[in-house]
Amino acid sequence: MSLASAVFFVRLGREVSEHELDAFDSAIQGTVNTWRGSLDGLMVLLTQGGSFLPMALVTAAGVAALLSARRPREARHLLLSSVGCVLLNLGLKLAFHRMRPNLEVPYLLPRPTSWSFPSGHTMGSVGVIGSLVVITRALSPARLIWRVTAALGCALIVGVALSRVYLGAHYPSDVLGGLLAGAAWLSAVTGWVYPRLSGSR
Protein backbone atom coordinates (compact mmCIF):
# COMPACT_ATOMS: atom_id res chain seq x y z
CA MET A 1 0.00 0.00 0.00
CA SER A 2 2.84 2.38 0.82
CA LEU A 3 4.44 2.03 -2.60
CA ALA A 4 1.13 2.27 -4.46
CA SER A 5 0.11 5.41 -2.55
CA ALA A 6 3.51 6.97 -3.17
CA VAL A 7 3.33 6.22 -6.90
CA PHE A 8 -0.15 7.71 -7.18
CA PHE A 9 0.99 10.76 -5.22
CA VAL A 10 3.93 11.33 -7.56
CA ARG A 11 1.60 11.09 -10.55
CA LEU A 12 -0.86 13.47 -8.91
CA GLY A 13 1.90 15.93 -8.04
CA ARG A 14 3.11 15.95 -11.63
CA GLU A 15 -0.40 16.67 -12.91
CA VAL A 16 -0.87 19.42 -10.33
CA SER A 17 2.41 21.04 -11.38
CA GLU A 18 1.37 20.93 -15.02
CA HIS A 19 -2.14 22.30 -14.27
CA GLU A 20 -3.78 19.19 -15.70
CA LEU A 21 -6.25 18.97 -12.80
CA ASP A 22 -7.67 22.48 -13.05
CA ALA A 23 -10.92 21.25 -14.62
CA PHE A 24 -11.24 18.49 -12.03
CA ASP A 25 -10.68 20.94 -9.18
CA SER A 26 -13.19 23.41 -10.58
CA ALA A 27 -15.88 20.76 -11.05
CA ILE A 28 -15.53 19.31 -7.54
CA GLN A 29 -15.24 22.73 -5.93
CA GLY A 30 -18.36 23.91 -7.74
CA THR A 31 -20.33 20.96 -6.42
CA VAL A 32 -19.09 21.42 -2.85
CA ASN A 33 -19.88 25.12 -2.97
CA THR A 34 -23.56 24.32 -3.47
CA TRP A 35 -23.58 22.72 -0.01
CA ARG A 36 -22.49 25.91 1.72
CA GLY A 37 -24.90 27.22 4.29
CA SER A 38 -26.24 23.80 5.24
CA LEU A 39 -23.08 22.28 6.76
CA ASP A 40 -21.22 25.33 8.03
CA GLY A 41 -21.08 24.36 11.71
CA LEU A 42 -20.00 20.79 11.04
CA MET A 43 -17.32 21.81 8.54
CA VAL A 44 -15.83 24.42 10.87
CA LEU A 45 -15.80 21.87 13.71
CA LEU A 46 -14.06 19.28 11.54
CA THR A 47 -11.45 21.66 10.21
CA GLN A 48 -10.69 23.01 13.68
CA GLY A 49 -10.47 19.49 15.07
CA GLY A 50 -8.05 18.52 12.31
CA SER A 51 -5.74 21.49 12.88
CA PHE A 52 -2.25 21.20 14.34
CA LEU A 53 -2.92 21.87 18.04
CA PRO A 54 -5.81 19.40 18.55
CA MET A 55 -3.96 16.68 16.64
CA ALA A 56 -0.79 17.38 18.64
CA LEU A 57 -2.74 17.13 21.89
CA VAL A 58 -4.33 13.85 20.82
CA THR A 59 -0.89 12.51 19.90
CA ALA A 60 0.69 13.59 23.20
CA ALA A 61 -2.18 12.14 25.23
CA GLY A 62 -2.12 8.92 23.22
CA VAL A 63 1.63 8.45 23.56
CA ALA A 64 1.47 9.13 27.31
CA ALA A 65 -1.41 6.69 27.78
CA LEU A 66 0.31 3.97 25.75
CA LEU A 67 3.59 4.36 27.63
CA SER A 68 1.71 4.22 30.93
CA ALA A 69 0.08 0.99 29.76
CA ARG A 70 3.54 -0.36 28.85
CA ARG A 71 2.86 -0.33 25.12
CA PRO A 72 6.07 1.22 23.76
CA ARG A 73 5.60 -0.25 20.28
CA GLU A 74 2.18 1.37 19.95
CA ALA A 75 3.49 4.67 21.33
CA ARG A 76 6.31 4.57 18.79
CA HIS A 77 3.84 3.95 15.96
CA LEU A 78 1.67 6.91 16.94
CA LEU A 79 4.63 9.24 17.40
CA LEU A 80 6.36 8.28 14.15
CA SER A 81 3.16 8.40 12.13
CA SER A 82 1.99 11.78 13.43
CA VAL A 83 5.30 13.64 13.55
CA GLY A 84 6.43 12.11 10.27
CA CYS A 85 3.30 13.30 8.48
CA VAL A 86 3.83 16.85 9.73
CA LEU A 87 7.47 16.97 8.64
CA LEU A 88 6.76 15.30 5.30
CA ASN A 89 3.93 17.74 4.63
CA LEU A 90 6.17 20.74 5.28
CA GLY A 91 8.76 19.38 2.88
CA LEU A 92 6.22 18.64 0.17
CA LYS A 93 4.63 22.09 0.46
CA LEU A 94 8.04 23.68 -0.05
CA ALA A 95 8.73 21.41 -3.00
CA PHE A 96 5.51 22.19 -4.87
CA HIS A 97 4.94 25.85 -3.92
CA ARG A 98 1.29 25.77 -4.94
CA MET A 99 -0.74 28.87 -4.16
CA ARG A 100 -4.00 28.63 -2.23
CA PRO A 101 -7.35 28.93 -4.03
CA ASN A 102 -7.90 32.55 -5.01
CA LEU A 103 -10.86 33.63 -2.89
CA GLU A 104 -11.63 37.32 -2.73
CA VAL A 105 -13.69 36.77 0.42
CA PRO A 106 -12.65 33.81 2.65
CA TYR A 107 -15.54 31.58 3.69
CA LEU A 108 -16.09 31.49 7.49
CA LEU A 109 -12.41 31.23 8.43
CA PRO A 110 -9.33 33.37 7.60
CA ARG A 111 -7.48 32.31 4.48
CA PRO A 112 -4.31 30.32 5.32
CA THR A 113 -0.98 31.83 4.29
CA SER A 114 1.03 28.62 3.81
CA TRP A 115 1.41 26.70 0.56
CA SER A 116 -1.53 24.63 -0.59
CA PHE A 117 -0.34 21.22 -1.85
CA PRO A 118 -0.73 18.78 -0.17
CA SER A 119 -3.28 19.56 2.56
CA GLY A 120 -1.66 19.62 6.00
CA HIS A 121 -4.95 19.08 7.83
CA THR A 122 -5.60 15.98 5.75
CA MET A 123 -2.12 14.51 6.15
CA GLY A 124 -2.10 15.21 9.87
CA SER A 125 -5.47 13.53 10.31
CA VAL A 126 -4.27 10.47 8.42
CA GLY A 127 -1.14 10.32 10.54
CA VAL A 128 -2.89 10.60 13.90
CA ILE A 129 -6.31 9.04 13.36
CA GLY A 130 -4.96 6.41 10.98
CA SER A 131 -2.35 5.39 13.54
CA LEU A 132 -4.98 5.03 16.25
CA VAL A 133 -6.98 2.76 13.93
CA VAL A 134 -3.90 0.61 13.26
CA ILE A 135 -3.12 0.42 16.98
CA THR A 136 -6.68 -0.66 17.70
CA ARG A 137 -6.31 -3.35 15.05
CA ALA A 138 -3.07 -4.56 16.63
CA LEU A 139 -4.40 -4.65 20.18
CA SER A 140 -7.98 -5.80 19.70
CA PRO A 141 -8.73 -9.44 18.80
CA ALA A 142 -12.40 -8.56 18.23
CA ARG A 143 -13.07 -7.78 14.58
CA LEU A 144 -16.16 -5.74 15.37
CA ILE A 145 -14.20 -3.32 17.54
CA TRP A 146 -11.49 -2.48 15.05
CA ARG A 147 -13.88 -2.45 12.11
CA VAL A 148 -16.09 0.09 13.87
CA THR A 149 -12.96 2.04 14.80
CA ALA A 150 -11.76 1.92 11.19
CA ALA A 151 -15.13 3.14 9.89
CA LEU A 152 -15.23 6.02 12.36
CA GLY A 153 -11.60 6.90 11.68
CA CYS A 154 -12.10 6.95 7.92
CA ALA A 155 -15.23 9.08 8.33
CA LEU A 156 -13.31 11.62 10.43
CA ILE A 157 -10.39 11.77 7.98
CA VAL A 158 -12.69 12.22 4.99
CA GLY A 159 -14.68 14.81 6.94
CA VAL A 160 -11.57 16.86 7.69
CA ALA A 161 -10.48 16.63 4.05
CA LEU A 162 -13.91 17.68 2.81
CA SER A 163 -14.03 20.59 5.25
CA ARG A 164 -10.89 22.08 3.71
CA VAL A 165 -12.52 22.15 0.28
CA TYR A 166 -15.84 23.33 1.69
CA LEU A 167 -14.17 26.29 3.41
CA GLY A 168 -12.15 27.18 0.33
CA ALA A 169 -8.79 26.57 2.01
CA HIS A 170 -7.69 23.91 -0.48
CA TYR A 171 -8.27 22.61 -3.96
CA PRO A 172 -9.78 19.09 -4.12
CA SER A 173 -6.48 17.81 -5.53
CA ASP A 174 -4.72 19.20 -2.43
CA VAL A 175 -6.73 17.00 -0.08
CA LEU A 176 -6.38 14.04 -2.43
CA GLY A 177 -2.63 14.56 -2.32
CA GLY A 178 -2.79 14.73 1.48
CA LEU A 179 -4.68 11.45 1.62
CA LEU A 180 -2.19 9.69 -0.66
CA ALA A 181 0.95 11.05 1.00
CA GLY A 182 -0.45 10.39 4.47
CA ALA A 183 -1.47 6.85 3.54
CA ALA A 184 1.98 6.16 2.09
CA TRP A 185 3.72 7.29 5.28
CA LEU A 186 1.25 5.54 7.60
CA SER A 187 1.64 2.30 5.66
CA ALA A 188 5.44 2.57 5.73
CA VAL A 189 5.46 3.11 9.50
CA THR A 190 3.03 0.23 10.00
CA GLY A 191 5.20 -2.05 7.88
CA TRP A 192 8.20 -1.22 10.05
CA VAL A 193 6.51 -1.36 13.49
CA TYR A 194 4.06 -4.17 12.73
CA PRO A 195 5.54 -6.24 9.88
CA ARG A 196 3.20 -9.18 10.51
CA LEU A 197 0.13 -6.96 10.66
CA SER A 198 1.15 -5.18 7.46
CA GLY A 199 1.69 -8.47 5.69
CA SER A 200 -1.67 -9.85 6.81
CA ARG A 201 -3.44 -6.84 5.40
Alpha-carbon gap, residue 64 to 56, rounded angstroms: 12
Report the pLDDT value the prediction gives residue 76, as an integer from 0 to 100: 96
Report the pLDDT value the prediction gives residue 182, as an integer from 0 to 100: 96
Name, in order, each residue with C-beta under 8 angstroms of 181's C-beta and a sequence gap of 6 or more.
Answer: 5, 6, 9, 85, 88, 89, 92, 118, 123
Per-residue burial over 112-131, b if 16 or more Cβ lie within 10 Å, else e, is: beebbbbbbbbbbbbbbbbb
Q: Residue 201 — very low, low, confident or very high, per pLDDT cuts 50/70/90?
A: very low
DSSP secondary structure code for residue 67 in this structure: H
For residue 75, the surrounding DSSP H or E stretch is: helix 72-96
60-69, 97-106, 115-124: the lowest-pLDDT one: 97-106
Report the pLDDT value the prediction gives residue 143, as an integer from 0 to 100: 84
Mean pLDDT of 16-27: 92
Mean pLDDT of 174-181: 96
Name, in order, each residue with C-beta under 8 angstroms of 19's C-beta and a sequence gap of 6 or more.
Answer: none
Mean pLDDT of 133-153: 89
Per-domain residue ranges of the chain: 2-11+42-100+115-193
Q: Residue 113 — very low, low, confident or very high, per pLDDT cuts 50/70/90?
A: confident
